[in-house]
Amino acid sequence: MTLKEAVIVEGRYDKIKLRGIIDSPIIETNGFRVFHDSEKLSLIRRIAAARGILIFTDSDGAGLVIRNFLNGAVPKEQVRHCYIPQLEGKEKRKAQASKEGFLGVEGVSDEVIVEAIRKSGATIIGGESRADREISKADLYSLGLTGTENSAKLRKVLLKELDMPPYLSTNAMLTALNCLYSFEELKELMLNLG
């Protein structure tokens, strides 16, 4: 399932779960850290302006707090909400259930997630392909952003130039770049950096 909107989740395991179901950019808030991370919030706002976001947090109190924070930080017309039902249980990787006893995004079935996405009003893209070619890891390598002696330094320069958080991992940077730029635009940016 491919969505127009970028999906915002609480953490790594939510992202891993959704990665097997949807083919769209997935951005982690790192839980409550997003409240104090102005760079991450700025990135989420930019992505929302470019393609919209789908907030997909857990159905517990913490998920609601994060959802409400993001809902107030991004213009309403750029936000869609995806809600999973409050299902009792615990995730397989955890020794005990969460404080409230509900499954999070990572713990519900694929069918529940697909149904929640359909109900959210997110823009589901059929078999159509992007007009612009997406940026791949191989592209990052060919542009000198990975695999070379100076690639870390070059990534930092690029992230600074694009006003993105400097601590983004290569994978997180790739996701953000694909939300905001085509391969051709990135190539042009890299020529201007050099």
What would the pLDDT profile of 107-149 be if each residue is shown by its tens digit?
999 999 999 999 998 999 875 444 567 899 999 999 999 998 9
Q: What is the mean pLDDT of residues 160-169?
A: 85
Q: Are 20 and 106 in contact (CB under 8 A)?
A: no
Q: How confident is the model at residue 194 (pLDDT cuts 50, 70, 90)?
A: low
Give the list of residues 6+ apart from residue 114 with CB closer than 8 angstroms, or none.
1, 21
Per-residue model confidence (pLDDT) at position 128: 45
Q: What is the pLDDT of residues 87-117, one digit of tens each?
A: 888 777 777 777 788 888 999 999 999 999 9
Global confidence as pTM: 0.77
Per-residue model confidence (pLDDT) at position 129: 44
- DSSP 8-state symbol, 83: -
Nearest to 2 by CA among 50, 76, 54, 70: 54
